[in-house]
Structure 1
Amino acid sequence: MDPVTRIVSVVTPVHDTALPFLPEAFASLRVQDLPDGWEWEWLVQVDGGKESEVSANIREDSRVKVGANRRGGPGVARTMAWGRSQGELVKVLDADDVLPAGALARDIEVMEAHPSVGWTVCRALDLMPDGSLRHYTLGDPDAGLLTRGETYAYWTTTHRPHVHPATLCIRGSVLAEAGGWMALPASEDTGLLVALDVMADGWFIGETGLHYRKHPGQTTAHIDHRGGTEWEARMGAIRKHVEALALRYRLT
């Protein structure tokens, strides 16, 4: 790879139930048309498995870097993938999701045009089991600047983000300050989103940038995802982390 090429690092944790979807995620990456001077790398992290579980035709692409770790959950796997990355921008892509054409280019263009913006999110459509697309259930904000603290304020009253955390693209320097993803069994992407929001302004891209697959094996389908003692502990950990950051970044 040309040493002057700028890189966006796409990080993807994968476990056994999501492995069959990985080729479709790969196909969506291959059709991304990036601005001049940019290239993507794909950091696939097999959580609790082996690198060989990823098909050979994916591993043979020089832009793909497959790693594996003992079972740690999605937050650990994401952080492990990021630890191997080289890019100045870090893009989230779950193994069972799909990037529409132009998604990466739009992230890059916003970051280049707005140096003070630390992260982007975008419109998402739910990809249903029958192949149809439905709009993500929460209403989208207006396209453009997401002022620091806006997403955090919404989360404190609802414990849900008003933008989709699976669409995040982040400046690597800001992600490093945030400490990567929290070691939670779920909601680690929401925790990172809310943390980023108290650290830096964000940007909402109005065009669809993700097809978010809905299927029974996904983490968000688990019985403990939206209630109970595990949920309370996850929300408590996120709140404590973000409150500390809010004080540090003089948000409150």
Structure 2
Amino acid sequence: MPRLITVLTPVFDGGHHHLRETYASLCAQELPSGWEWEWCLQEDGRTGVPASVLPDDPRISSGTGLPGRAGVARTMALARTRGTLVRTLDADDLLLPGALARDIETLARVAWCTSAGLDLHPDGTTTAGPYDPPPGPLPDDLFLTEQRHDRLSVLAANFAAHTDLVRALGGWPALSGAETVGLLLAAEAVTPGEFIAEPSMLYRKHDGQTTASSHYWEADESRARLQIVLDRARVLRLLDWKWPDDLGVAPGP
């Protein structure tokens, strides 16, 4: 049987207009011998419109459900996830060549990883993230410390992990935003990760993205979201529960 990495994407009706490009970037991935990918697409709602724009590909699994924003959609998709590894990819973003292969190679050593990304602007130009950490193993409190100072150095949506680790942590928190930060900080609290310096994703900047809305950044709600994810990470550290080392690696590519 082939080894499988699941790419997991939340989407909503109206936020699906780049899905064909996202799918094309996934099809262009070259995986290590013996590996395949599946794409679990979960609509935040029940219109069925986002899935209707995609071709009939047995590697695509689509689902719908009651709207609860992206964190709920991501976690609901776990019910259909068959891969031993899972990688997040938003519906308007693009994987760069080699992204999944690098995730697979890194997850042979650690239970989770994150990677650099490039902002893709409407005019087609790209810019790199200004605060990327050094490549390789990460300090066990780097992202927690950064988030406490509101200066997270990575795009938390650029995340890959062992699927069972994501399950053990309860998936993505049911928040109105920052759910990717929540899972990143929780994973960091229980097991070491690595940073991949080579960019793996084009992060599309456009007026229709959720984080471009002024409502998303309403002060009290934004503060509450981040307090929840910081408190979750703090309590996990106080409990001192750790992901077992013998579950923290996958078969090599």
TM-score for the superposition, normalised by structure 2: 0.91
Residue 241 (structure 1) aligned with residue 232 (structure 2): yes
Counterpart-to-counterpart distance in 2, 1:121 and 1:14: 21
- Write the mapping of 1:188-203 to structure 2, written as runs, cut at 5 A: 188-203=179-194
> Is the CA contact 1:224–1:230 (under 8 Å) kept in the aligned structure 2?
no
Q: Partner amino acid for 1:183?
A: A
AA at the equivalent of 1:132: T
1:98-177 equivalences under 5 Å are: 98-112=94-108, 114=109, 117-136=110-129, 138-158=130-150, 160-177=151-168
Amino acid at match of 1:127: L
The answer to which of 160-169 and 208-217 deviates more is: 160-169
> Cα deviations across residues 137-183 of structure 1 (Å, max 9, x unaligned)?
x411111001222211221222x421111210011121112110000
Q: Which amino acid aligns with 1:99?
A: L
Cα displacement (A) at 1:132: 1.2
2 CA distance for matches of 1:250 and 1:48?
35
Counterpart secondary structure, 2:228: helix
Paired letter, 1:125? L
1:23 aligns with 2:16: no
Percent identity, please: 40
Alignment gaps of 5+ in structure 2: 243-253
Q: 1:95 aligned to 91, 94, 107, which one?
A: 91
Q: Equivalents in 2 of 1:250, 1:91: separation in Å?
A: 24
8 Å contact 1:224–1:231 — kept in the other structure?
no
| Corresponding residue of 2:45 | 48
Asked if 1:222 is matched to 2:213, the reply is yes
**Taking structure 1 as reference, are residues 66 and 156 closer, same or farther at Cα in structure 2, changes over 3 Å only?**
same
CA contact (8 A) 2:45 2:65 kept: yes
What letter corresponds to residue 86 of structure 2 in structure 1? V
Residue 227 (structure 1) shift = 4.6
Question: 3-state SS of the aligned residue for 2:29?
Answer: coil
Amino acid at match of 2:75: T
CA RMSD, 1 decimal? 1.5
Stretches of structure 1 that go unaligned for 5 or more consecutive residues are none
Amino acid of the residue matched to residue 67 of structure 1? G
Q: What is the DSSP-based 3-state SS (H/G/I as helix, E as strand, rest coil) of the residue aligned with 1:16?
A: coil
* Structure 1 runs of 4+ with >2 Å offset: 49-53, 55-58, 224-227
What's the TM-score, normalizing by structure 1?
0.91
Structure 2 Cα separation of the partners of residues 75 and 118 of structure 1: 21
Tell me which moved more, 180-189 or 232-241.
232-241
Give the number of aligned pairs.
242
- Per-residue CA shift, 1:101-138, capped at 9, x if unaligned? 100000001112x1xx22111111001111111112x4
Residues 193-229 of structure 1: CA deviation (Å, up to 9, x unaligned): 1111111111111111010001111111121434511
- The one-letter code sitting in structure 1 at the alignment partner of 2:89 is L
Judge which range, 181-190 or 215-224, deviates more: 215-224
Secondary structure of 2:116's match?
strand
2:251 aligns with none
Q: Distance in 2 between matches of 1:11 and 1:250?
A: 26
